[in-house]
Amino acid sequence: MRQLILDTETTGMSSRPKPPEEGHRVIDIGVVELIDRRITGNDYQVYLNPQRKIDPVTIPIHGLTDEFVSDKPIFSDIHTEFIDFISGAELIMHNASFDSGFINQELKMLGYKDRLEDLCQIIDSLEIAKEKHPGQRNNLNALINRYEVDGSSRDLHGALIDAKLTARVYLLMTGGQVGFFSQEDEESHNISSSTDRFDYSKRKIIHALSSTDQKEAHSSYIEKLSKASNKKLNW
């Protein structure tokens, strides 16, 4: 069975355009491949130029700036290879409505008729976590701690590293065992090591302004994403 764990980073919280020029966009896509519940190392990752400004409230979360994404491809440049990579797989996302909502909006803007739901079977790992752990916090950070997954290298959110963490949590959560990975897997796909192709440690942490409105928006953003940093964000 081919399963894919997908995560995104975005310019802001809502993909709904109101008006169109205010609709937030995807700036980072990360996908981890599983074959028969084994991480293959055949990952997909791309940074994107959103053709709009990144909301300053989100920058402390993912560390991606307007300058960084200015020379990256736009979604229309990569959508064919992206669709080819994910089509027909079981697609797992944590808080799936958020990530799928953004991807579907990108496809819609290109006039693409199919949605992710038409291309893949969608599984929401957040819903699985809620069923297994009712009444508890089930965002990614809480699950990382609960299942003792090493996320110590993640100072900032990144689509690929978050997808790798989600994959580890998903396998432990649905497999019922902590020692799921072989030693070779641990060495090849160690979550605590950064990805070979993308050095997240080189991104700068840019501090947001300290207004009450921005703090509230920032907190709301993290809650809706069901993502939390391993380190307390500094304002």
- Per residue in 189-230, pLDDT (tens digit) is 444 333 333 444 444 433 334 444 444 444 445 555 444 444
pLDDT over 80 (residue 59)? yes
d(CA 148, CA 58) in angstroms, rounded, equals 27
d(CA 57, CA 60) in angstroms, rounded, equals 7
Query: Mean pLDDT across the stretch 171-189?
Result: 58
For residue 164, give the H/E element and its range.
Answer: helix 159-175
Lowest-confidence region among 10-19, 71-80, 97-106, 153-162 = 10-19
Q: Supply the pLDDT for residue 13.
A: 80
Length of the chain: 235
Domains of the chain by start residue, with CATH: 2-225 (3.30.420.10)
Q: Supply the pLDDT for residue 16.
A: 62
**Is omega for the bond preceding 50 within 30 degrees of 0, making it cis?**
no
Q: Which of 24, 157, 189, 218 is catalytic?
A: 157
Query: Mean pLDDT across the stretch 101-121?
Result: 95
d(CA 163, CA 157) in angstroms, rounded, equals 10
Contact (CB, 8 A) for 160 and 30: yes
d(CA 5, CA 14) in angstroms, rounded, equals 21
Residue 105 makes CB contacts below 8 A (sequence gap 6+) with 15, 16, 17, 23
pLDDT over 60 (residue 154)? yes
Q: To the nearest whole number, what is the mean pLDDT of the chain? A: 81
CB 177: neighbour CB atoms within 10 A?
Answer: 7
Q: Is 62 a catalytic residue?
A: no
Closest by CA position to 13, among listed 60, 45, 63, 54: 54
Q: Supply the pLDDT for residue 77.
A: 98
d(CA 207, CA 57) in angstroms, rounded, equals 9
Residue 111 makes CB contacts below 8 A (sequence gap 6+) with none
pLDDT over 50 (residue 26)? yes
3-state secondary structure of 45: strand
Give me the residues paired with residue 47 across strands.
Answer: 28
